[in-house]
Amino acid sequence: MKAKSTDWIIFIGICFIWGSSFILMKRGMFDSAGNATLSAFHVAALRMLSAGVILVPVAVKSFRNIPVRRFGLLILSGLIGSFFPAFLFCIAETKISSALAGTLNAVTPIFVIIIGAVFFHNKVAVQKVIGVVVGLIGSILLFLSHGYEDMGYTGYAFFVLLATIMYGVNVNIVQRHLKDIPSVQIAAIGFSLLIPASLFVLYFTGYFNLPLLKNEYLLSTFFSCLLGVMGTAFASIIFYVLVKRTSALFSSLVTYGIPFVAIGWGLLAGETVTLIQVACLAIILLGVYLVNRQ
């Protein structure tokens, strides 16, 4: 299915929101001077809590429209599509940069293809496979071009890898089993049902015992909640819209646009961007084009 102009607008919007999520995670865990404030568990739990709370009014209206037998799938989608990945990414970013986490997130389409083919019996055209491989190569080259000094911490990159596997499973579940449910209802019910779990994590990790009225903790809490409202609640709704309008594979390719946004934030922060990195971004964009081209 070829994407329309409206689909591309949604695509770019999601890229910007999710591309900005990685820097928000960092700002949730560290202040502007690089000092630790909230833990990875605090930021992830606040993210999920704020996403659930903001969508409660929608969820209340939606409960009666969803058959009870579908609630299990909605909870599963919320867990593997947002809840667990939120914690995995935050844990990873305690040791690796937000730009690296955003770049590694681009492997999601590979797992969409593998999981879709193996467990959902999806047929994938050779051209789409080539497009995904091209995009992945561009992402890998972009990662290598950064010359990270914290390579000793790359073991934490496997937390990102596990999160992308979960994303791949969730995209296929939504496409196959939840396509008849409105996107807003999927997100609202899924996140609202996870509010108790988020509060549980915050309580038992000592968040409420912190000096929350101090400026640095207020700012960290603000960035974490902003991450939840925009980067989780709103972005998830429009992502589900994109999945239904196009395909699971094309929707997952928003992960290829994330490095563009990450570099944009780097420029604003005074970082330099090399011609090699620009070339890598061109390769990524070529992969997106090949996947969508009929």
CA 210 and chain centroid, separation: 28
Alpha helices by DSSP H, 120-252: 126-145, 157-177, 183-192, 195-204, 215-228, 235-245, 248-252
pLDDT tens, position by position, 221-257: 999 999 999 988 888 788 878 877 887 677 777 877 8
> What does pLDDT average to over the chain?
83
206: its two tokens: 């000592």
pLDDT tens, position by position, 92-142: 988 877 777 777 777 787 788 778 888 887 887 888 788 878 878 877 777
Residue 152: the pLDDT is: 54
Could you tell me which of 142, 238, 257, 225 has the C-alpha nearest to residue 184? 238
Q: Which residue has the tokens 């914290």?
A: 150
80: its two tokens: 């593997």
Q: Cα torsion for 17, 101, 41, 49, to the nearest 10°? A: 20
What is the C-alpha to C-alpha distance for residues 27 and 68, in angstroms, rounded to an integer? 39
Residue 201: the pLDDT is: 97
- Domain count along the chain: 1
Q: Which amino acid is at 56?
A: V
pLDDT at position 55 over 80: yes
Residue 198: the pLDDT is: 96
* % of the chain residues with pLDDT over 90: 27
* Residue 30: strand pairing partners: 36
What range does the domain containing 117 cover?
Answer: 5-292
